[in-house]
Structure 1
Amino acid sequence: MQAPIISSVPHPGPAVTAPGAGRQHNEQVPLPPAVDAPREVYATPSLKEISWYADGPEGTRPLVLLHSINAAPSVFEMKPLFEHYRAERRVFAPDLPGFGFSDRSDRPYSPELYAEAINAFLTDVVKEPADIVAFSLTSEFAARAYLAAPERFETLALLSPTGFSDRRLPSGGVGKALHRVFTLPGLGSGLYSLLTKRGGIRFFLRQSYVGEPPDELIDYAYATSHQPGAMHAPYRFLSGQLFTRNAVETLYNKLKLPVLVIYDKDANVTFDLLPGVVESHANWRATKVEPTLGIPQWERPTRTIAALDEFWRTADATTAAQER
């Protein structure tokens, strides 16, 4: 197996264009760094290029922040947590495949690919067990990654996670059919352009934000969605192919590590099955951070940070008691 390649990029670095193949759906927009921190590129033959940011004191237990999956996600979604925690611990934030400065080529993005990317990053870059914070759909990928390599995880915190709704997902056949429609010449690019106009981004963020979403969130979502190949991974998301059917049974019920869910209301998902999971698993806890509509780390950062800190303190105390 070929060894991964890790290389640094200039810091803070100029606004540049993210790598990846594919015809651009709209005008090309410079993409600045998502956070003001050193950025490096990690590459393997199977995963291609994965860009990541890291900062904070060496020798502390690592914290890994995983952004969501949607039409225009990025590490910028995790910026409030990155900026807070880098003062006290080593923090890593990768651009997941298909987003940010990572490879955006046209390939079969799947839950398995994202779980592989998370575990490869933990193994080859972080190199020691870490606390993981995953946002929205990426919660499912993080759970899948843990089941494949539990030794890489200390704890898992899920921000407004998917997979707890009692609504049935479309079948795999429906998802593939939708993906074929999205990739029809002209039709898919037109739909993606419509979704990622500033007005469209503002509309969707308003559904997920108490009050008016900050302009900086809208600006970065616009920039990251206007890069070469930016539509490829979102097409898989929009067609429903990145969700896991019966995620509670398939993924969440099998987790053995300390798990925290931070939630309230969410315009896109429900938490119908969450109380049953928490009640039947001693390693799970849930904290309602309100009022929020799906982006607690931006809407209520102080309360979100307090919930994370309390979770880690409790998890460490429990582990210490078990070891005595």
Structure 2
Amino acid sequence: MDNTIKKVGKGLLWGLGGTAAALLTSIAGWIVYSKKYINHHQGITGALDADLFEVTTQNAGRLGYYADLSGKGTPLVLLHSINAAPSALEMKPIFDHYRGKRPIYALDLPGFGFSDRSDRLYSARLYQDAIVEFIREVVGKSADVVALSLSCEFAALAAVYSPEWIRSLVMISPTGFKQPRTDKISQRARQHGAQSQVYAGLAVPLWNRPFYDLVSSRPSIQHFLNLSFEGYVPPSFVDYAYVTAHQLGAQYAPTYFLSGKLFTPAVRETVYKVLEQPVLVIYDQDPYTNFEMLPGMLQEKENWRAERIPPTRGLPHWEQPEKTFSALEAFWKEL
């Protein structure tokens, strides 16, 4: 019996050892493939059919942006989301609808598009500064801001700390309304700085870019966009996401995002509740967050309102554009 147990144990060890060896070989092979055969200098063109400009700011550095100033009225500033491969293309339906009707801008946030993608600290404060500096130095007057997903948190921070530059805020599928976790595991993770540990693990130069190449591969991009669309995903959306993710330095900002370091803790209580500007939330279903705590905010804050636009999964302006535009018009009409 003892000999049988020993033989079984040895067999298991050999099996586990073989599996580990195969896994390590696959990882090493992907690292080599990423560095030698994946083109990280894809030819990139503008995400929008509009004039592309850039400005260099004190805190955020170089910022790329699109603009159409042929319209009149209060300027409109559009902010794309933060994910593995975002771009101003995410805001295209709104940009195209309002160009010529009012001055409109679409900003490439730091680390993305034609903005500075250098290896530096990316944080909520950096994005807050970028938004304020952009509106102050380029737009030059108080603007209506429309932000998508996590960028809603950055726009809210900018509106709280520099209220003179933001007249109103529209949040499309915002983060920050999920019921906070109170289990012991999440508490322990926060106590031990899990986000910093995850970032340190992902940011190791040997595999940082190869890991990002996996996350930003065409199949991966297609998969995540399938989750965000109720219906058909435009091929151009996938194509541009792939191209913008395969630029020099494209991995740096997403690494901070993937490690969770760009989210503001308790943003609902510390930022959203402090907002004094009129706020409109446009939402429905979202595969990456939920809006459990939104009704409470609407009850507590008179300057907040919300419009649910089904059936959508985070991009209502793409799948239900007319309903989205109607909600925007009704909101701005009351300002």
Quick check: TM above 0.5? yes
Which structure: larger Rg? 2
Which of residues 233, 245, 254 in structure 1 aligns to 2:253? 233
Which of residues 69, 72, 81 in structure 2 aligns to 1:68? 81
1:244 and 2:264 correspond: yes
User: Post-superposition, which runs of at least 4 consecutive aligned residues in structure 1 deviate over 4 A?
Assistant: none
8 Å Cα contact 2:160/2:276 also seen in 1: no
1:51 and 2:64 correspond: yes
8 Å Cα contact 2:71/2:101 also seen in 1: no
| Number of equivalences | 293
Which of residues 227, 241, 261 in structure 2 aligns to 1:221? 241
How far, CA to CA, are the matches of 1:39 and 1:106 in structure 2?
23
How far, CA to CA, are the matches of 1:216 and 1:305 in structure 2?
22
The residue that corresponds to 1:80 in the other structure is 93
Q: Which amino acid aligns with 1:129?
A: S
8 Å Cα contact 2:75/2:139 also seen in 1: yes
8 Å Cα contact 1:50/1:103 also seen in 2: yes
The residue that corresponds to 1:149 in the other structure is 162
The residue that corresponds to 1:6 in the other structure is none
1:268 and 2:299 correspond: no
The residue that corresponds to 2:38 in the other structure is 26
Which of residues 205, 212, 217 in structure 2 aligns to 1:185? 205
8 Å Cα contact 1:208/1:294 also seen in 2: yes
Give unpaired runs (5+ residues) of structure 1: 1-22, 317-324
Give the secondary-structure state (helix, strand or coil) at the position aligned to 1:186.
Answer: helix
Shift of 1:24: 10
The residue that corresponds to 2:29 in the other structure is none
How far, CA to CA, are the matches of 2:149 and 2:212 in structure 1?
20
Shift of 1:58: 5.0
8 Å Cα contact 1:35/1:76 also seen in 2: yes
Q: Which amino acid aligns with 2:142?
A: P
* Structure with a larger share of its residues in helix: 2
Give the secondary-structure state (helix, strand or coil) at the position aligned to 2:193.
Answer: helix
8 Å Cα contact 1:202/1:218 also seen in 2: yes
How far, CA to CA, are the matches of 1:309 and 1:24 in structure 2?
50
Shift of 1:302: 1.3
Give the secondary-structure state (helix, strand or coil) at the position aligned to 2:67.
Answer: strand
8 Å Cα contact 1:29/1:226 also seen in 2: yes
The residue that corresponds to 2:223 in the other structure is 203
Identity of aligned residues (%): 45
Cα distance change on mapping 1:274 and 1:24 into 2, 3 Å: farther
The residue that corresponds to 1:174 in the other structure is 194
The residue that corresponds to 1:310 in the other structure is 330
Q: Deviations over 1:161-196 (max 9, x none)?
A: 001101347538111111111112333222211111
